[in-house]
Amino acid sequence: MLPDFTVPPSLSLLLAALRPCFTAPTFTTFCGLLYGMLAQTGRRTVTGMLVGAGLSRRWSHDRAHRFFSHARWCPDALGLAPALLVVGLPVPDSEPVPVAVDDTLFTRSGPKVWAAGWFHDGSVKGNQPVGYGNNWVVLGIVVHLPILDRPVCLPVLARLVRKNTTSSSRLWLATQMADKLATALPGRKLDVVADAAYAGDYLRALPASVTWTTRLRKDAALYDLAPPRTGKRGRPRLKGDRLGSPAQLAATATFTPVKVRRYGQETTVMTATIRCLWYGCSARCRSPSSSCATAPAGSVPTTWPW
């Protein structure tokens, strides 16, 4: 293993915070693999990490493989441990915790790769952007570091998409992770941001401390807010009158210019906010939702975060 004097003190402090997640022998194996992953300039496979740490002749490769297949440790606990450190330092207590959710495809080949399948792959060029492999839904905390011009996302939880099971729903996996993170951070509010794939009925079960921002579908059924209770018998209304389509609302909405910083640059976009219900996603949510159309200045709005 790498000598102690070659390990940066900052990394040693981080590993000390992760020590409760492992037994003593497993923690030693974990540190060796982590050092090897950081030092390895080639492929970061299990055996590659052993080579990077200088342990390929001292440890059996079975020891490294058993760390992932048989050792007693919980990936969620390992992910939440640094999350507690991040929330306690860069994110002020008075501000909500910014969270990002997305899925990523790890390409694989061969018929015996467990839970592999064909999924959308944005990195593929052409008319059919699909790839074969393991698809992971990843939840991370967005932090702003003084040494960088743009925010970075620290992945803390991940779930594997398995087709033909409950875990085939990326939204369900994302809401389960958001709920777990909210439970680990009592008293803190979470502002989750995701793309259009993460909208649906599962959002109704989110705790009150979690807000969810996603992209509005162009065929979304939008309704006015539910009217107040009448005091008469019968179930109260869950929604108001039907509004127009997002395109129709954008045509009549009043837009104002707002300066935003994205991708490291400051740009001006046109925004309009409409308080409404996206029925099917927010029919039984705790509070009304907002649809906000945005577009570069001088162009027609086409994006509707919700």
Same domain, 114 and 178: yes
Q: Is residue 107 part of a domain?
A: yes
Would you say residue 27 lies in a domain? Answer: yes
Q: How many structural domains is the chain composed of?
A: 3
In a domain, 53, yes or no: yes
- 99 and 54, same structural domain? no
pLDDT the model gives residue 31: 92
Q: Among 161, 180, 211, where does a domain finish?
A: 211
Q: Are residues 80 and 169 in the same domain?
A: yes
Which of 69, 93, 114 is the endpoint of a domain? 69
pLDDT of residue 164: 86
**What secondary structure does DSSP assign to 141-210, as a single string?**
EEE--TT-SS-EEEEEEEEE--TTSGGG-HHHHHHHHHHHHHHHSTT--EEEE--TTS-SGGGGG--TTE
Domain for residue 302, yes or no?
no
User: What confidence score (pLDDT) does residue 294 get?
Assistant: 57
Q: What is the pTM of this model?
A: 0.84
Residues 229 and 276 in one domain: yes
Q: Check whether residue 130 and residue 166 sit in a common domain.
A: yes
Interacting residues of 261 by C-beta distance below 8 A, sequence separation 6+: 267
Same domain, 64 and 82: no
Asked if residue 120 lies in contact with residue 105, where contact means CB atoms within 8 angstroms, the answer is: yes
**Residue 101 sits in the same domain as residue 148:** yes
Same domain, 60 and 137: no
- The reply to whether 131 and 235 lie within a common domain is no
Q: What are phi and psi of 27, to 5 degrees?
A: -65, -40
Predicted confidence pLDDT, tens digits, the chain (306 residues) = 555 547 888 888 889 999 999 999 999 999 999 999 998 888 888 989 999 888 888 898 899 999 999 999 999 999 999 898 888 777 777 789 999 999 999 888 888 888 888 898 878 777 888 889 999 999 999 988 888 888 889 999 999 999 888 788 999 999 999 999 999 999 899 999 999 889 888 888 889 899 998 888 888 888 888 888 888 888 888 888 898 888 888 888 888 888 887 777 888 888 888 888 887 675 555 455 565 655 555 454 445 555
Asked if residue 172 and residue 85 are part of one domain, the reply reads yes
Closest CA to 162 of 140, 133, 138: 133
Please give the residue range of the domain that contains residue 276. 222-296
Q: Where does residue 264 fall: left (phi above 0), alpha (psi -120 to 50 degrees), or beta otherwise? A: left
* Residue for token pair 């707002």: 258
27 and 89 co-located in one domain: no
Measured N-to-C along each axis, helices 9-18 and 75-88 cross at an angle, to the nearest 10 degrees, of 120
Domain end residue (candidates: 69, 90, 123): 69
Claim to verify: residue 58 and residue 164 sit in the same structural domain = no
Angle at 102 between CA 209 and CA 248, to 5 degrees: 80
Amino acid making up residue 251: A
User: Does residue 131 lie in a domain region?
Assistant: yes
Residue 140: per-residue pLDDT: 96
Specify the pLDDT at position 285. Answer: 54
Compute the distance between CA of residue 101 and CA of residue 161 in angstroms, rounded to an integer. 14
Helices (H) and strands (E) in the chain, counts: 7, 10
Q: State the residue for tokens 């906010």.
A: 273
Cα–Cα dist 216/199, whole Å: 8
Q: Looking up tokens 């398995």, which residue turns up?
A: 162
Given this model, what pLDDT does residue 92 score? 72
pLDDT of residue 95: 85
